[in-house]
Amino acid sequence: MLAFAQSDIGMVRKTNEDSYVFSPPHLFVVADGMGGHVAGEIASNLGATTIQEYLKMFRQQSDWEHILKEAIIKANTIIYQMSQAKSECLGMGTTVTAVYADRSEIYWGHVGDSRLYLLRENMLQQITNDHSLVWELVQTGSITAAEALVHPHRNILTRAVGTSETISVDSGRFLGQPGDRLLLCTDGLTNMVSEEDIFSICSKPGNLQGIVNKLVEQANQAGGYDNITAILAEYKDYP
């Protein structure tokens, strides 16, 4: 996979609590931390690096979906134990959205409200479901997707890595097709840039770096109220 990643502090926050793993052509992770002082940064970094280190032990394995889930569960344990051991880290947690590409197979694991999108054949599809209060309200028809963007409780997560002793991890797999583009991003992008604009930007021909730069620029122009992290990967056919 060809890929490019960028993380930006945004226009308002004093620190960047996002972390990511960029290890093409196989592994990509975005994590958005939460917690007081530096705890969010600690949680997201622990989440991302734990997944990366865990997967290194399974280079010859083939069930990457299961391994991704195990890696996120391992990250949950490590973050939770630190939050219990250090008062300044109490309550910290992080979102995690991870992708592992093994030739034509694309595997993903997910907790929280960061997202994985698939751009294929001129259509943008959100692969992951947000684990958030407003997502549940949208799913039940209580509010519209447009209302969710400005809902006062839009940042409340219903599931995060490290906030409880156990965690349920969403996961899946699909076959990559030549020309597919995968976007992993934190809500600092999706809360600022509409899916229509994300689709418009990501579907344009050109180098991936320029596209990611444009996504971050759009989020900052819209206010940049949160940290912004995006990884864009393009699937190439294997012989």
The answer to whether residue 192 sits within a structural domain is yes
CA dist 67 and 207 (Å) reads 31
- pTM for this model (two decimals): 0.94
Measure Cα distances from 46 to 14, 207, 222 in Å: 20, 31, 30
> Whose CA is closest to 99, among 5, 49, 172?
172
Per the document, the length of the chain is 239
CA atoms of 75 and 57, how far apart (whole Å): 15
CATH number, domain at 172? 3.60.40.10
- Fill in the amino acid letter for 214: K
Tell whether the model's pLDDT for residue 64 goes beyond 60.
yes
pLDDT of amino acid 238: 58
For 207, residues 6+ apart whose C-beta sits below 8 A from its C-beta are 4
Report the pLDDT value the prediction gives residue 139, as an integer from 0 to 100. Answer: 78
Whether residue 107 contacts residue 188, with contact meaning beta carbons closer than 8 Å, is answered with no
Count CB atoms within 10 A of the CB of residue 234. Answer: 19
Contact 20, 71 (CB under 8 A): no
Q: Looking at the 3D structure of the chain, how many domains does it have?
A: 1
Q: Is the dihedral of CA 209, 235, 28, 136 positive or negative?
A: positive
> Is 238 or 237 the better-scoring residue by pLDDT?
237
Assess if residue 76 is contained within a domain: yes
Average pLDDT along the chain:
92
Name the pLDDT band for 212 (thresholds 50, 70, 90). Answer: very high
In this prediction, residue 33 carries a pLDDT of 97
CA–CA distance, 46 with 131 (Å, rounded to integer): 20
Indicate whether 239 belongs to any domain. no
- Tens digit of pLDDT for each residue in 16-45? 999 999 999 899 999 999 986 679 999 999
Asked, for residue 116, whether it belongs to a domain, the answer is yes
Structural domain that includes position 143: 2-234
Q: Is residue 156 part of a domain?
A: yes
Token readout for 86 is: 């250090």
Given a cut of 90, whether residue 49 has pLDDT beyond it is: yes
